[in-house]
Amino acid sequence: PVDLFVHASASEGGVPVALQEAASFGIPLVACDAGGVRELVSEGTGLLLLVDVDPASLARAIVDASTRLGGDPSFRNGVRARWGEGFQAPVNFGLFCDDLIDGIRKRS
């Protein structure tokens, strides 16, 4: 099993798909606060780091998170639940289509 997923990118345009995929498996996350990362990474899913985190601090965060979170089944279930609440493509696509149809109907 994978104990932890680390995403140390300093720039993002949204919520990285790699983080979403890891969360879908209940893998605790460690990521820098870039783009839309904070929409998924929080106290309930892992550790959110400063964008300009130095290598030593990143290493400490990885050790801390893997020790505290990696083997905790209830935490892993929470990570997967958070993914399920807002990041499932089929659900989100359906909601997007509903919003689009509503917008078109309002214009008619």
Give domain limits for the chain: 5-107
1 has a pLDDT exceeding 80: no
89: exposed, middle or buried (Cβ count in 10 Å: 0-12, 13-18, 19+):
exposed
95 or 79: whose pLDDT is higher? 79
Q: How far, in Å, CA of 56 to CA of 32, rounded?
A: 14
Instruction: Please say whether the beta carbons of 5 and 22 come within 8 A.
Output: yes
Tokens representing 47?
């550790």
Confidence of residue 4 (pLDDT cuts 50, 70, 90): very high
Confidence of residue 37 (pLDDT cuts 50, 70, 90): very high
Confidence at residue 89, expressed as pLDDT on a 0 to 100 scale: 79
Confidence of residue 47 (pLDDT cuts 50, 70, 90): very high
Q: How far, in Å, CA of 27 to CA of 46, rounded?
A: 9
CATH superfamily of 5-107: Glycogen Phosphorylase B; (3.40.50.2000)
